[in-house]
Structures are given as C-alpha cells and as structure tokens.
Amino acid sequence: MPDRPANSPFIRDVPAAQALDAWRAAREAAGCPDRLPAVTVPVTEAGGLVTAAPIWAVRSSPPFDAAGMDGIAISSADTLGASETTPAWLPPGAYTVVDTGDPMPDRRDAVVMREHVHYDDAGRAELRAGVPPYQHVRSIGEDVSAGELLLPEGHRLRAVDLAAAAAAGATHVSVRKKALVFILPTGDEVRPIGSETGPGQILDTNSLMLAEQAREAGCEARCLPIEPDDPERIAAVVRESAADCDLLIVIAGSSAGRDDYTARVVASTGTLVVHGVAVRPGHPVVLGVAGQTPVLGAPGYPVSAALTFEIFAVPMLAELSGAPPRQRPRATARLARKLASPLGMDDWVRVRLGAVGGSLVATPLPRGAGVLTSLVRADGLLVVPAGVEGHHAGSSVPVELLRGLDEIARTIVAIGSHDLVLDLAWG
C-alpha cells in the first residue's frame, strides 16, 4: 500500500478523544441535528427515555395530610402529661380509627400506632405516653410540593422517576425521540444468521451484536440487508439509508485491503473525517458524515466492532439525546501477571476478575480482535492509555465492570499450574 500524504485522514493513528472532537465538528458543519426532536408520550411509556423539558409537579404528594401508620388519629393536646402511671383516657369521640394513607380527620394532628393503644370495656383508648404533634402523619407535600421542579431536562427516566412523576400529577411528559440506528453489513463472504456456510463464509453476527448494543444504549435499531463488496452498491445504500436514520453503521471494509471500501464510500457520499484511530482493538475505524447523518465504519472483527460502538457511538448518541452516557461501575483490581501494551495506542484489555484475600484480582484474557469469547468471558475492561507501556504484576489498576461484583465474587481464580482441587470442584 502506498504511503499516505501527511495530511490524509486515511489510516492514521488519531487519538480517540481527538477523533471524537473532529467527528463532532464535521457533524456541526454538515448541519446534523445536535438534538433528537422532542415528542410527548404518556408517562407510562416513558421508561428509559430522556426528558426534553423539565418535569414540574402539578400536585402535591401526598395531596393531603395522611396517616402514616395504622392506629388512631388523635389531638396531641389530649395526651399532655400522659405516662405509665397516669395514662390519658380518650373517649370514643376523641379519636378516630385510621389505616395507613387515610386522610387525617378534622381536629386530629397525630396518630398512635395500633399496638400502642389499649381499650377498656367502654371503648375508651388508653395512652401511656404523651404524643407530639404530627407523630406518624405524612404532611401534605412531604414528598413533593405543587410547583416544585421534579426532574430536569436531560434526565434518563427510571422506574422510580416515572412513579414520582405520576404521583406529582404528570400524565404525559416531553422526551427525546429514540435515536434510530441503521446497521449495514458488507462483504462477499457474509451470510445471514441461520444460513449454511461454506468455505470462507461467515455469519452476520456483528449486526446482531451492534443492534443489541444500540438498544441497550436506548435506541431503536434496524439491520439492513447484507451488501457485497461493491463500492457503488454500498454507496447507493449509504445515500438512501442515511436520510432515514440518526446514525448509520457500516460493518467491515474499514481497513486498507483491496476489498475495503468504507472510507472511499463515505468520502464519495459525504465527508470522511477520520480513518484510523489510536485504539486497540478497533484501529481501522471510519468516522464521517453522509448528508446530515453521522456514519460510523466499524471494523469487521467482532471485538473491534463492539468496542468501536462503545468508544464512538455511545457518546455521540448520548449527545443527541442530551443526556450523559451511561457509565458502568468501576473498581480497582490487582493484576495477576505482567501486562505489556504498545505505546501510542489506547489498549482495551479484557480481564477476568476474582476475589482473592478480600481484594479483586484481574487476569488478562486473549487479546485478539476476532476472539469474541474474550468479551463473553470478560468481567471487566482495563484501558491502558497510549502513553503507558503496560503494568507490572501486582499493580493496582482501574477496571470498568461488565458484571456485578456479586457475580465476580463467585469466580474461581486459578493462575499457574493446574491444581487438583479444581477437578474436585467440577465433580
């Protein structure tokens, strides 16, 4: 392959942050929308969506003073001086039996729990302690008051948010439309899932994986038919489909082989911004714009494709929705063995995690870009920055968790020669 000019965007090691900035600038220059349009939906259907406007309480919750316990509603003044030796006796007309959530009756300002009330044969209630005003009473607006800001713009709605909004009187909310992601698989050798494959043929598992990643990011996803390695056909599909989606992902063809056309297609249909980033795996990524739609050229290797989506698509889609990207939890772990990493590239290392002696231990997994099972088996991701050559065994490193710590705690960590105890553990 001939050398590229120094100012060419093709196959260069652009740092990931710089590539994201360049892509953002190109989207602005092309007039790509900076936010998804706002739509109004019933509060019952807004889960996972991002607010396009603040949600204000239109009613107080609770909307009245309410009993906070099962018992009797009383006037606290009637219990002044009550004690074990000098109890207060309230006649039936001086108290009201209430259940939790009942409105407080007039002239009643406290509730005594049912188990603390004793009755005599005349129905009088015996109270053996004084009761302060508003004991076991939920005051009007205790949770939220009418006119109060409940949720800001740019908030991704969770189950508790929907319940609080409904309690505060919301029936409909203004949210950002879900981004629509089109996924275009390419390659003469690619066959649909469920097909019989011959020599040199592979199944289109990348589309399935990327579509599900898009849905996990709060988007709608649609997989387009597989296109063969024909640049004119691919370009025609890019032009047509880009007009109907918010992000177009072209799978494979992003490197520099003789059948790698993605960069050329993006350049011919719009603007090619970046071709090649300083990330491993995922180096031959393509970033560009077709019309007014961002285009991401994902490498064909599955690990590269998955991580490319995480690094580039997730923050871009979050910007469109106006919400911060979803962040995975992080933890600190000790490396089980020495880890070497190439200078000049952010190295995304898949690791297994296990609890040893009360601390987490990270063991690197196979690092090939085609080893999809390394992501299946990974408990976390360790990013070695471009300026670091690696870490020594025993070093403390930050890890982005792919599983919960409760799952990781059940992991058995075995390093070195085989221990016969493992045979017993697996029966």
For 318, residues 6+ apart whose C-beta sits below 8 A from its C-beta are 217, 324, 325, 326
For β-strands 180-185 and 137-138, DSSP reports them as: unpaired
pLDDT band at 7 (very low <50, low <70, confident <90, very high): very low
- The whole-number pLDDT of residue 255 equals 61
**Residue 3: what pLDDT?**
42
Q: With pLDDT > 90 as the criterion, what percentage of the chain qualifies? A: 75
In a domain, 191, yes or no: yes
Distance set, CA 369 to CA 229, 292, 347, 391 (Å): 21, 31, 11, 21
- Residue 100 included in any domain: yes
Measured distance CA(229)–CA(240) in Å, rounded = 17
* pLDDT tens column, 10-31: 456 889 999 999 999 999 999 9
CA distance 265 to 275: 12
Residue 301 falls inside a structural domain: yes
CA–CA dist 419, 298 (Å, integer): 41
* Domain assignment of residue 48, yes or no: yes
Quick one: 49 and 153 in the same domain? Answer: yes
Which residue type is seen at 169?
Answer: G
Helices 231-242/262-269 angle, 10° precision: 50
User: Residue 1's pLDDT is what?
Assistant: 34
Q: Where are the alpha helices (DSSP H) in 73-178?
A: 159-167
* Best CA proximity match to 138, nearest among 172, 95, 167: 167
Task: Please indicate, yes or no, whether residues 211 and 284 belong to a single structural domain of this protein.
Answer: yes
Task: Indicate the pLDDT class of residue 4, thresholds 50, 70 and 90.
Answer: very low
Q: Return the pLDDT at 105.
A: 96
Bridge partner list, 38 = 176
Say yes or no: 279 and 183 in one domain.
yes
Are 171 and 44 in a shared domain?
A: yes
Domain containing residue 239: CATH number? 3.40.980.10
What mean pLDDT is predicted for residues 322-337? Answer: 90
* Cβ-based burial of 117 (10 A; exposed 0-12, middle 13-18, buried ≥19): middle
255 shares a domain with 300: yes
Query: Within a domain: residue 165?
Result: yes
Tokens matching residue 35: 């936010």
Query: Which domain, by its residues, includes 159?
Result: 38-61+142-176
| Over residues 109-120, mean pLDDT | 95
C-alpha distances (whole Å) from 409 to each of 203, 226, 243, 383, 403 are 35, 42, 47, 22, 10
The domain spanning residue 391 has which CATH number?
2.40.340.10
Residue 409 binned pLDDT confidence (cut-offs 50, 70, 90)? low
Beta strand pairing call for 380-384 and 346-356 = antiparallel
How confident is the model at residue 258, as a pLDDT? 56
Q: Length of the chain in residues, anyone?
A: 427
**DSSP states of 42-68 as a string?**
EGGG-TT-BBSS-EE-SS-BSSS-EES
Do residue 397 and residue 352 come from a single domain?
yes
Residues 128 and 193 in one domain: no
**Nearest in space to 23 (alpha carbons), one of 272, 346, 306, 324:** 272
Q: Which of 288, 321, 354 is the last residue of a domain?
A: 321
Mean pLDDT is lowest, of 101-105, 201-205, 258-262, for 258-262
pLDDT at 166 over 70: yes
Q: Quick check: helix, strand or coil at residue 396?
A: strand
Same domain as 306, residue 206: yes
Residue 164 has pLDDT above 90, yes or no: yes
pLDDT at 426 over 70: no
What are the tens digits of pLDDT across the range 126-144? 999 999 999 999 999 999 9
What are 355-358's contacts with CB under 8 Å, separation 24+?
A: 355/408, 355/409, 355/411, 356/413
Q: Based on the fold, state whether residues 341 and 383 are members of the same structural domain.
A: yes
Average pLDDT over residues 89-106: 96
* Number of domains comprising the chain: 4
What's the mean pLDDT in 310-327?
92
Does residue 3 fall inside a structural domain? Answer: no
Distance CA(117)–CA(82), nearest Å, equals 13
Given a contact cutoff of 8 angstroms between Cβ atoms, the answer to whether 382 and 331 are in contact is no
- In terms of domains, do 370 and 300 share one? no
DSSP state, 144? B
| Statement to judge: residues 201 and 289 lie in one domain | yes
Name the token pair of 263.
């960069």
Amino acid at 391: H
Predicted pLDDT of residue 257: 56
Residue where one domain finishes, among candidates 321, 339, 354? 321
The answer to the question of residue 2 being in a domain is no
Long-range contacts (CB closer than 8 Å, 24 or more residues apart) made by 166-171: 166/43, 166/44, 167/61, 167/143, 168/55, 168/56, 168/57, 168/58, 168/59, 168/60, 168/61, 168/144, 169/57, 169/58, 169/59, 170/43, 170/55, 170/58, 171/42, 171/43
Query: What pLDDT score does 186 carry?
Result: 94
In one-letter notation, the amino acid at residue 399 is: V
CATH code for position 46: 3.90.105.10
Report the predicted TM-score, pTM, of the whole model to 2 decimal places: 0.82
Assigned domain for 126 exists: yes
Summarize pLDDT for 208-243 with one digit per residue, the tens: 999 999 999 999 999 999 999 899 999 999 999 999
Residues 46, 162 within the same domain: yes
- In which band, very low, low, confident or very high, does the pLDDT at 411 lie, cut at 50, 70 and 90? low
CATH number where 121 lies = 2.170.190.11
